[in-house]
Structure 1
Amino acid sequence: MSETVPAPQTPQPRTVAPETDAPRSNRVLREILRGSVVTSFLALVVALLIGGVLIAVTDEEVRAAAGYLFARPGDTVAAIGNAVYGGYEALFRGAIYNSRADDLLTGLRPLTNTLGNAAPLIAAGLGVALAFRVGMFNIGAQGQILFGAAFSALLTFRLDLPIGLQLPLTLVAGIVGGAIWAGIAGLLKARTGAHEVILTIMLNYIAVYLVDWMVSTAGVLQKAGSNQPISEATPVSGRFPDLFGPQFPNLDVGFLVVIVATVFVWWLMERSSLGLRMRAVGENPHAARAAGISVPRIYVYAMLFAGGLAGLAAMNQVQGAVTSGFDSHIDAGFGFDAITVALLGRSRAWGTFVAGILFGALKAGSYTMQASEGIPVDIVLVVQALVVLFVAAPPLIRTMFFLPKDESEKSARARARAARKAVA
């Protein structure tokens, strides 16, 4: 009697419970861990850790102790700890609070220095971030800052008006000057399709040499009675008043103007109908055009706003930090640092605001690190670059810290697995 052989059974795929069946608290936690805030914070942590390694490697005491590492390893460990702690303690002391100060107000002066350094970074970063949201890579903040400063000086420095008129007129002229310079790139892109990267790079060079000529030519912007390439000093009535008095000279009313600008950019991009059209163009200009949106006009609007914000950064310099006269270096590198700030802030208004304060703190604290610990300022620049590197690679941060993957990463991994199975 023959035995009946059962037919082979096809293995059934395992059913995975959908993510919506998970407890609500788990879903909320998963979304938080996937979010940009957590990845940006962890990117900063990793950058500071690598910065600590660089501080230790460049420290003379660490190198000396490493010479007899195997004989007395404790000395090397202690030297590394002292170097890293001393460096970051100096950074905190120069950027947030000086615990060695004689009184509370003097101890808080580093915080005001941080906010003062952050003001032009935030303003220029907002301009770059706004252009990013519209799908434009604006790297012309340097030229927009320079032309904004020169335009304001040409129109307002010789007016000699009372402060109630001179200060806002000087401020508005700088904003308009920056908008004009960026508007040239926006108009050329809208009319001819030229790429904004090439346009803004060339306009940067033109602005540098144009301002060089202006401040070197008598009767244009050069300081009267001087043969040096420098402009007239900012009129006293056109300078931002100190926010908390002369004891905190690096923090002035310009920081309040930057806060107002941040609120405006947030409202413009998140709450206004124009911002909706801008975001639509940034997501997909072809779909936006099909929906009846004038894409060329949006490009011009975006560059006008971006240039105006860069002009505000120029005015934070001319009316606040550098009032004795300026030259073609008035941007102080803010034009390119603004790109970093906008990237770290994820091109959002308040994210850019926080990123600007962070970079202002790094700049303020770097001088104390160098003065008290002998740590090169370049170490802080490396930390800034590492922050951007890790912020630009969220999957790397999620992998390093075993964070939940987002949907795009999951779908990419699923497609990769399917492709490998198809090949096999």
Structure 2
Amino acid sequence: MTETRQHGFDTLQVHAGARPDPATGARQTPIYQSTAFVFRDADHAAALFNLEEVGFIYSRLTNPTVAVLQERIATLEGGAGAVCCSSGHAAQIMALFPLMRPGCNVIASTRLYGGTVTQFTQTIKRFGWEAKFVDFDDPQALADAIDDNTRAIFGEVIANPGGWIMDIDAVAKVADDAGLPLIIDNTTATPYLHRPIEHGAALVVHSTTKYLTGNGTVTGGCIVDSGRFDWSASGKFPSLSEPEPAYHGLKFHETFGALAFTFHGIAVGLRDLGMTMNPQAAHYTLLGIETLSLRMDRHVANAEKVAAWLETHPAVDRVTYAGLPSSPYYERARTVCPKGAGGLFTFALKGGYDACVKFIDSVEVFSHVANLGDTRSLCIHSASTTHRQLSPAQQEAAGAGADMVRVSIGIEDADDLIADLDQALAKAAPSMAAE
């Protein structure tokens, strides 16, 4: 694509990173289902392995199909580069990997996906890392939690499961004042509803499994590098600022500048952690992104209609959707996500745990699955599934209490979704069925 003018989002989601295949002229990006790629000669191979030339070596590191996806996501997010990997959880580990050392910590929001909380409270301890959880609605508490061993701040713009909206500008200021990178999980918002880099994020992570792919077919993850963080300023990030022994003393930030994190993610992260995205998964995600804006508009419109209806149902105690005027995050959502508050939220049933289980067992159009961001509408009882490993206090803090149902609103006819919810609620709480 020519760079003579700034293209709009709808154009970039179709074209960014993609060019006709030079060998065949194929318009759609091919699936380069190849483990390895032939070098022109010995000097070419040496240059690639020395990071002196960009190209394809081995699909654990780089692959042409995956490369197109990386460029497309980076373009949509307004980043300098991106690294795709095998899942959203892989993306989180890969985002932290160059920043952390044993004894270091990351400050994380209390409002995170349950799997992320488990990863941060349990698994990262095996690396000698620690996570400290803070309510990001309290910037002073966030600032007070930072110490000499803090290396990053991590949060979600639209938090899973409750759909709460982060005051990203306030959080970014705390990170900037402390000289720390802000890592934002933008899975539930997508770059169509919000672009964290424009609000101070240094890195953006995605579970591409969700809205970016949008059809529930493949898992994947991505780390977008803003290219704006100075990795050499504080001496806290030696993996990026100091000589790398595996590359004859090369300094990533000095050598690659704005793309330092991206090159490190591929040359060290994918090389040694091996959390590789396969080319077929990249292909499916590229197809999904082509319709991202169209789908997100429908997700938002349906979510607004369904949430408003649920709020009036006698069996429903409360609805957390930030797109409702009754939400404490409504005004913030209009600023942070002016195109809409997404398609994910929770609602509480007055009948508690038992009513939630009965409701889940009664839906027909909604699918009971551990996923979100699908074209199909999905539901789950987080306390007994995705957040089951957490304590009751952690579940409540994350918005996944025993009385809460999480819904991911799809792109079906909204009236059909409401009818399905109505019949399921009638079975879950027959004494409070809507008239």
Specify the TM-score bucket, using the shorter chain as the normaliser: under 0.3
TM-score (norm: length of structure 2): 0.24
Q: Which has the higher contact order (CA 8 A, sep 6+)?
A: 1
